[in-house]
Homo-oligomer: A and B are copies of this chain.
Amino acid sequence: MDKFMQAALEEARTGLSEGGVPIGSVIVHDGKIIGRGRNRRVQKGSAILHGEMDALENAGRQPASVYRNCVLYTTLSPCPMCSGAIILYGIPHVIIGENRTFMGEEDVLRSRNVTVEVLQDEQCIGMMEEFIRQKPELWNEDIGV
């Protein structure tokens, strides 16, 4: 596995070990991770800290010129909120661990000229399948169902 997706997966696993929703993300600029994060709904009682949002927040305030040269890695297909954040900041390239357990707004991203790659990684799929089986109510809350 690509080292950046590996880092996103490590974030997701840390989240799982904290009792949280196991979704992780890293933002890469010029070959370096400038922000990493994980879903913190449980850990921080947050309605907005999905993995991608947490990674964006941890990257801090960046100029548009940085975002426009970033790649965002996420273990799971990004929801409407996270896809909207990607569009707001003009992040041009998103690499997704899997979209089998949840299909996010990939079509919207592509329609806004974001390059979207989906790895269908078995580790990402297995982790989410197990989580959804164990905590369906928490998962539904996270995706607004």
Q: Which A residues contact B (CB, under 8 angstroms)?
A: 41, 45-48, 53, 56-57, 59-64, 67, 79-85, 87-90, 105, 140-141, 143-145
Q: Report B-chain residues with C-beta under 8 Å of the C-beta of A60.
A: 45, 47
Number of copies: 2
Q: Report B-chain residues with C-beta under 8 Å of the C-beta of A64.
A: 140-141, 144-145
Cβ-defined contact, A63 with B141, below 8 A? yes
A84-B79, A88-B79, A145-B64 as given contacts; A48 in contact with B48, CB under 8 Å: yes
Q: Give Cα A80 to B140, complex, Å.
A: 23
Q: Give Cα A144 to B57, complex, Å.
A: 14
Q: What would 15 A/B residue contacts be, using CB atoms closer than 8 Å?
A: A47-B56, A47-B60, A47-B61, A48-B57, A48-B85, A64-B141, A64-B144, A67-B144, A81-B84, A81-B85, A81-B88, A84-B85, A84-B87, A88-B143, A88-B144
A129 to chain B, nearest CB (A): 22
Q: Give Cα A56 to B56, complex, Å.
A: 17
